[in-house]
Structure 1
Amino acid sequence: MTSVTVSLVLFDMEGVLTHYDRDVRVAHLAASTNCSPESVRHAIWGSGLEARADAGIIDENEYLATLGAMLNHPVSKDEWLAARRASITPNEQTLALAGQLRSSCRMAILTNNCHLVTDHLDYLNPAVDRMFGNAVYSSASFGATKPAAQAYLRCVEEIGARPGETLFIDDTGANVQGAIDAGLIGYKFENAATLKREFERLGLL
């Protein structure tokens, strides 16, 4: 038990609450567009396209249109969502831990993603959608991606919490450090067992 007060637990989604397989996503989209996996990887990440969408610089229509142009094959929203869904598997252990927190504090998610993910979470990630409902925030909503301070601070403000009473959990060290630099309490996720011990140490379980 510590003297730290935690009133909000802010989770990263992929890598913490769910497993994310980028290769599966690439293979799925490559098959639906008749493109090589290498072309898909470059179009989404190598070009910086997804990073711009995640930061809210471009909207979903521009994102899909640009992706289709780069692949020389139209990419519909349904095709994109199907590939994204195939890449996601719930982490049942961490979701179970999150379920135990409901009686002790507020919970939310801050994920580096575009609105296509959060707007269609009921299809993409039903387990997380059932657990968190409307308390899932995309970086695109705040005009910046983690680890930029703006992403954390605007999210916490939107929720109505205090940075110093917000425990942020992420599997990427840079994102955890970004949260700490922004005044949040940061914790680097490794597995559900160590996370449970951290919750117990903080008096949340």
Structure 2
Amino acid sequence: MVADITLVLFDLDNVLYHYDRRRRVEHLSGITGIPADDIYAAIWDSGLEFQGDRGVLAPQDYLQAFGDRIGYPVSLTEWLEARRAAVAPNEPMLALVERLRASKDIAVLTNNPELLTEHIDVVCPRLRPLFGDRIYASASFRTAKPEIACFQRCLAALAVEPPAVLFIDDLPENVAGARAAGLHAHHFTSVDALRRDLASRGIDV
């Protein structure tokens, strides 16, 4: 029996947009003069980015902490420039989404601080025309994927029940978390594999 999917929920990084964290770090290094490895250690190895994803810090406090950790007062413009330098649209996926939204509701749930979704038109300008305001950062829910609460709070904001949702993510642990929360889920590896999975669920794109 084909499930009655009414909403497809997408991860962002390495699903809708390609994301290269190293390129982001190297861009920040170019701005600040600080070695890339030092920036990586100060932000990602320290756990600050995980705190940002979970909404432990308000957006301005997160940006302040970001600069404090690397020893350079990173401005919002610089942070956004580095984030945008690290991404590129996944054109075949965006084309699939364009077709899909004719028959299904769609939304985005990404593990990221609210700075990203507040300025999504700067970093990922192709998303707003497709998803409107249904672009959510995990930080807005004070949790992060793969925690069940992250999915529950996002679906509450979307006013949809888990069995009616198909979640798509490139990380197996997030797919497992979605399934534990009662959603259908697809581990994203390619557009062709996703298209086949959608067809098996009675969703043609």
Using the size of structure 1 for normalisation, the TM-score is: 0.97
> Equivalents in 2 of 1:39, 1:64: separation in Å?
17
How far apart are 1:73 and its partner, in Å? 1.4
Name the aligned partner's letter for residue 22 of structure 1: R
Q: Say if 2:179 is the partner of 1:183.
A: no
Match of 1:126 in 2: 125
Q: Say if 2:45 is the partner of 1:46.
A: yes
Q: Is contact 1:33-1:71 (8 Å) kept?
A: no
How far apart are 1:90 and its partner, in Å? 0.4
RMSD: 0.9
Match of 2:107 in 1: 108
- Please state whether the residue corresponding to 1:167 is helix, strand or coil: strand
More displaced, 105-114 or 42-51?
42-51
Using the size of structure 2 for normalisation, the TM-score is: 0.97
How far apart are 1:130 and its partner, in Å? 2.0
> Equivalents in 2 of 1:145, 1:35: separation in Å?
29
Unmatched tracts of structure 2, length 5 or more = none
Name the aligned partner's letter for residue 75 of structure 2: S
Unmatched tracts of structure 1, length 5 or more = none
Match of 1:64 in 2: 63
1:33-75 CA-partner distances (Å, limit 9, x unpaired)? 1101011101211111111111010012111212212222111
Aligned pairs for 1:5-154 within 5 A: 5-154=4-153
Runs of 4+ residues over 3 Å off in structure 1? none
> Equivalents in 2 of 1:141, 1:189: separation in Å?
24
* Amino-acid identity (%): 42
- Please state whether the residue corresponding to 1:73 is helix, strand or coil: coil
> Equivalents in 2 of 1:11, 1:175: separation in Å?
11
- Please state whether the residue corresponding to 2:168 is helix, strand or coil: strand
Q: Is contact 1:9-1:106 (8 Å) kept?
A: yes
> Equivalents in 2 of 1:34, 1:60: separation in Å?
24
> Equivalents in 1 of 2:138, 2:69: separation in Å?
24
1:168-187 CA-partner distances (Å, limit 9, x unpaired)? 00000000000000100011
